[in-house]
């Protein structure tokens, strides 16, 4: 049985499930080269079907995440058009006319006369389905539309390693199908929702995104920068900002709990008034502290009401790894799984799981949903494809181009001597975090590689930390992880062992020495594991610095051509492309 899962919103994504196992997943941005591209992910679907040797005729069911689809035209504007973004989110001084317009719109929306959001519009369901039927030739009766937060919950639970064991399943995001959070319990093949929080009065995700916008960064994309900045704020200043922010936003306990703006008015204007005169790092620190306190309080209430020593988490708010670290440290939490890249892109996977269970029930077939497993689910790089590209672009006339049977040893040599190597090999990983196959690697013990990488390619904000990939067999040397939590996807943060911090100095947060690691098991990626093992043989360090292979503001590379283009437009000295090594002279 083959199920195609689709997310059409922020970071449009396609996923393929076969007989209970996710065998392919990729986001449209990797193929269009437009960051967080939205809409029906036609190119991602085509690439996955080609990679997996499937045709549209093999698809038994197409599962669309979300009850309805927002028009791509509007999504493109709110994601890419800076002038529209400023207008839509109210980035301007207060205006009586604008306030009256907003009250009028809310009244009109209450009676179903106009949309509650300026300029926001969806497409008719028939038009939405036609995008699928016209592309794949499947009939409309083979397409199902599924609830946004149920998809988040399904990805979190059925994608977890719990294999049917009882768990508390929590979802939390900006908004989806009118909700921003849900509380469910799960066991076996059942997923039972107990609470659902409407997003109308506010959401924790939107609060943090508005802080991101207030700090001059991109709503819905740069929240990780606020999290990275927060530890730099001195306690007295961040506490001042926390107190100011709590005056306008907080958790309201109830059934369900609400995440609520406490004062009327436009969100940006509320922040403007509350934070006037406060330093930018104080605001980041205060916002992070408030998010952690509210999220942790909500998790405690959910656990008190519904139990749960084992947690499964989904939705974009749980991309905040520092908050996840606090949840993991809670007494009574024995295990924690945060779905990788758990924003809307993960809903393609959740939709595929749900549709699979429903189709099995319809056919009377016992379902066997499998955990998500290794995230290397995109198109594969082959040496034949690379060789053809080298000839086509005459690369060996401009660079040193060599083929290595043992490329992993050569990469390790270069990490020791030159410090930085880009790697593009095997199947592309799913999600926002590079996991070795589309990564820039560096010596984590050399602090000089941080400004070097930033000058070469990343142009990251000065306060942003890098992250390590750590061999599973060495995790105890580097991480404080008393519960032995699994972290294969860089979705959790951990304190680091003081006596080993110098070995990871370039790959941990400079201010609080925490790490957001990928803990790598050899069976999940033998070739990447071999790179780190060879580096360990030369240095004694069982880890490397790992950051995504992309220019700042662009998606992670997908194809060999993307890798070469990025290599040529950057200061990177070396590109390990499959078994080929391309070095600048």
d(CA 488, CA 64): 27
Q: Which two tokens stand for residue 391?
A: 């000839």
Query: What pLDDT, on the 0 to 100 scale, is given for residue 34?
Result: 95
d(CA 233, CA 251): 24
CATH number at residue 490: 3.90.870.20
CA angle 242, 248, 254 (to 5 degrees): 100
Confidence band (pLDDT; 50, 70, 90) for 98?
low
Of 112-126, 323-337, 447-461, the range with the lowest mean pLDDT is 112-126
Confidence band (pLDDT; 50, 70, 90) for 418?
confident
Find the helix or strand (DSSP H, E) in which 213 lies: helix 204-214
Query: What pLDDT, on the 0 to 100 scale, is given for residue 101?
Result: 58
In tens, the pLDDT along 453-489 reads 999 888 888 899 999 999 999 999 999 999 999 999 9
Query: What pLDDT, on the 0 to 100 scale, is given for residue 80?
Result: 86
143 with 229, same domain: the answer is no
**For residue 426, how many other CB atoms are within 10 A of its CB?**
19
**For residue 476, how many other CB atoms are within 10 A of its CB?**
13
Is residue 82, in this structure, part of any structural domain at all? no
Indicate if the pLDDT at residue 354 is higher than 80.
yes
Indicate if the pLDDT at residue 111 is higher than 60.
no
Higher pLDDT, 538 or 80: 538
d(CA 415, CA 418): 6
298 with 220, same domain: the answer is yes
Residues 384-406 have a mean pLDDT of 97
Higher pLDDT, 410 or 455: 410
490 with 510, same domain: the answer is yes
Q: Which two tokens stand for residue 545?
A: 């610095």
Is residue 127, in this structure, part of any structural domain at all? yes
In tens, the pLDDT along 227-239 reads 999 999 999 999 9
**For residue 394, how many other CB atoms are within 10 A of its CB?**
9
d(CA 1, CA 4): 10
Is residue 366, in this structure, part of any structural domain at all? yes
Query: What pLDDT, on the 0 to 100 scale, is given for residue 301?
Result: 98
323 with 369, same domain: the answer is no
262 with 149, same domain: the answer is no
Query: What pLDDT, on the 0 to 100 scale, is given for residue 108?
Result: 58
315 with 366, same domain: the answer is no
Mean pLDDT over the full length of the chain: 95
Query: What pLDDT, on the 0 to 100 scale, is given for residue 462?
Result: 87
The number of distinct structural domains making up the chain is 3
Q: What stretches of 215-306 adopt beta strand conformation (E)?
A: 249-252, 258-261
Structural domain of residue 15, as residue ranges?
A: 2-69+123-155+346-373
Comparing C-alpha atoms, which of 158, 170, 166 is closest to residue 194?
170
Question: DSSP labels for 299-345?
Answer: HHHHHHHH--SEEEEESGGGG-HHHHHHHHTSTT--EEEE-TT-SGG
Indicate if the pLDDT at residue 304 is higher than 70.
yes
In tens, the pLDDT along 570-583 reads 999 999 999 999 99
Decide: residue 425, CB within 10 A, 0-12 exposed, 13-18 middle, 19+ buried: buried
Query: What pLDDT, on the 0 to 100 scale, is given for residue 419?
Result: 84
Comparing C-alpha atoms, which of 374, 286, 539, 466 is closest to residue 21?
374
Q: What are phi and psi of 152, to 5 degrees?
A: -55, -45
Confidence band (pLDDT; 50, 70, 90) for 118?
low
27 with 167, same domain: the answer is no
Q: Are 324 and 318 in contact (CB under 8 A)?
A: yes
Is residue 245, in this structure, part of any structural domain at all? yes
Confidence band (pLDDT; 50, 70, 90) for 293?
very high
281 with 325, same domain: the answer is yes
Is residue 417, in this structure, part of any structural domain at all? yes
Confidence band (pLDDT; 50, 70, 90) for 6?
very high
Q: Choose the final residue of a domain: 312, 338, 364.
A: 338
Confidence band (pLDDT; 50, 70, 90) for 155?
very high
Query: What pLDDT, on the 0 to 100 scale, is given for residue 110?
Result: 53
Q: What stretches of 10-160 adopt beta strand conformation (E)?
A: 13-18, 21-27, 61-65, 143-146
Query: What pLDDT, on the 0 to 100 scale, is given for residue 112?
Result: 54
Residue 360: CB partners within 8 Å, gap ≥ 6? 1, 366, 367
Query: What pLDDT, on the 0 to 100 scale, is given for residue 79?
Result: 86
443 with 554, same domain: the answer is yes
Q: Are 544 and 531 in contact (CB under 8 A)?
A: yes
Is residue 97, in this structure, part of any structural domain at all? no
Indicate if the pLDDT at residue 106 is higher than 90.
no
CATH number at residue 220: 3.30.420.40
Which residues, listed in sequence order, are joined to residue 26 by a DSSP beta bridge?
14
323 with 352, same domain: the answer is no
Within 13 Å of residue 32, how many CA atoms lie on the same side as its CB?
19
In tens, the pLDDT along 534-545 reads 999 999 999 999
Tokens 């499964």, located at residue: 312
Residues 270-282 have a mean pLDDT of 96
Indicate if the pLDDT at residue 24 is higher than 60.
yes
* 335-338 sheet: strands from edge to edge: 190-198, 179-187, 167-176, 310-314, 335-338
Coil, strand or helix at 554: coil
Is residue 545, in this structure, part of any structural domain at all? yes
410 with 499, same domain: the answer is yes
Confidence band (pLDDT; 50, 70, 90) for 132?
very high
55 with 33, same domain: the answer is yes
d(CA 284, CA 227): 7
Higher pLDDT, 94 or 555: 555
Confidence band (pLDDT; 50, 70, 90) for 99?
low
Is residue 105, in this structure, part of any structural domain at all? no
In tens, the pLDDT along 486-539 reads 999 999 999 999 999 999 999 999 999 999 999 999 999 999 999 999 999 999
């Amino acid at each position: 049985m083959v199920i195609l899962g689709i997310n059409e919103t922020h970071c449009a994504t396609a996923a393929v499930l076969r007989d209970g196992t996710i065998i392919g997943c990729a986001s449209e941005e990797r193929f269009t080269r437009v960051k967080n591209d939205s809409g029906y992910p036609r190119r991602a679907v085509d690439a996955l079907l080609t990679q997996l040797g499937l045709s549209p005729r093999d698809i038994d069911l197409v599962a669309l995440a979300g009850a309805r689809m927002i028009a791509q035209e509007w999504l493109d504007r709110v994601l890419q058009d800076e002038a529209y973004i400023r207008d839509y989110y109210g980035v301007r001084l207060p205006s009586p006319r604008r306030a009256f317009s907003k009250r009028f719109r809310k009244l009109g929306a209450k009676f179903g006369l106009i949309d509650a959001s300026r300029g926001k519009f969806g497409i008719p369901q028939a038009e939405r389905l036609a995008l699928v039927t016209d592309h794949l030739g499947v009939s409309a009766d083979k397409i199902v539309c599924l609830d946004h937060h149920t998809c988040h919950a399904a990805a979190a639970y059925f994608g977890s390693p719990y294999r049917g064991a009882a768990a508390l399943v929590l979802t939390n995001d900006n908004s989806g199908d009118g909700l921003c959070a849900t509380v469910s319990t799960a066991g076996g093949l059942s997923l039972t929702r107990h609470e659902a929080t409407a997003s109308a009065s506010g959401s924790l995700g939107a609060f943090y995104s508005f802080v991101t916008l207030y700090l001059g960064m991109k709503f819905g994309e740069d929240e990780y920068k606020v999290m990275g900045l927060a530890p730099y704020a001195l306690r007295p200043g961040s506490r001042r900002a926390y107190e100011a922010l709590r005056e306008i936003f907080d958790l309201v306990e109830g059934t369900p709990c609400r995440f609520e703006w406490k004062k009327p008015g436009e969100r940006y204007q509320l922040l403007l008034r509350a934070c006037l005169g406060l330093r930018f790092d104080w605001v980041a620190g205060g916002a992070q502290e408030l998010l952690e306190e509210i999220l942790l309080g909500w998790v405690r209430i959910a656990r008190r009401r519904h139990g749960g020593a084992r947690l499964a988490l989904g939705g974009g708010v749980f991309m905040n790894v520092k908050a996840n670290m606090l949840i993991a440290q809670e007494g009574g939490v024995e295990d924690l799984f945060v779905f990788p890249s758990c924003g809307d892109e993960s809903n393609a996977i959740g939709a595929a799981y749900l549709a699979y269970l429903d189709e099995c029930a319809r056919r009377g077939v016992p379902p066997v949903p499998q955990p998500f497993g290794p995230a290397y689910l995109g198109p594969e790089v082959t040496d034949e494809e690379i060789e053809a590209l080298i000839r086509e672009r005459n690369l060996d006339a401009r660079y040193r181009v060599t083929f290595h049977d043992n490329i992993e040893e050569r990469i390790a040599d270069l990490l020791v001597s030159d410090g930085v190597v880009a790697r593009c090999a095997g199947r592309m990983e799913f999600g926002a975090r590079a996991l070795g196959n589309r990564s820039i690697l560096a010596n984590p013990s050399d602090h000089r590689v941080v400004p070097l990488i930033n000058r070469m390619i990343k142009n990251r904000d000065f306060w942003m930390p890098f992250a390590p990939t750590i061999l599973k067999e060495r995790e105890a040397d580097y991480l404080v992880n008393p519960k032995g939590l699994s972290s294969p996807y860089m979705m959790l943060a951990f304190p680091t062992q003081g006596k080993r911090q110098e070995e990871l100095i370039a790959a941990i947060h400079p201010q609080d020495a925490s790490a957001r690691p990928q803990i790598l098991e050899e069976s999940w990626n033998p070739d990447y594991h071999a790179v780190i093992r060879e580096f360990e043989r030369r240095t004694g360090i069982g880890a490397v610095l790992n950051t995504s292979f992309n220019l700042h503001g662009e998606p992670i590379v997908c194809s060999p051509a993307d890798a070469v283009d990025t290599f040529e437009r950057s200061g990177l000295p070396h590109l390990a492309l499959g078994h080929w090594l391309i070095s600048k002279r």
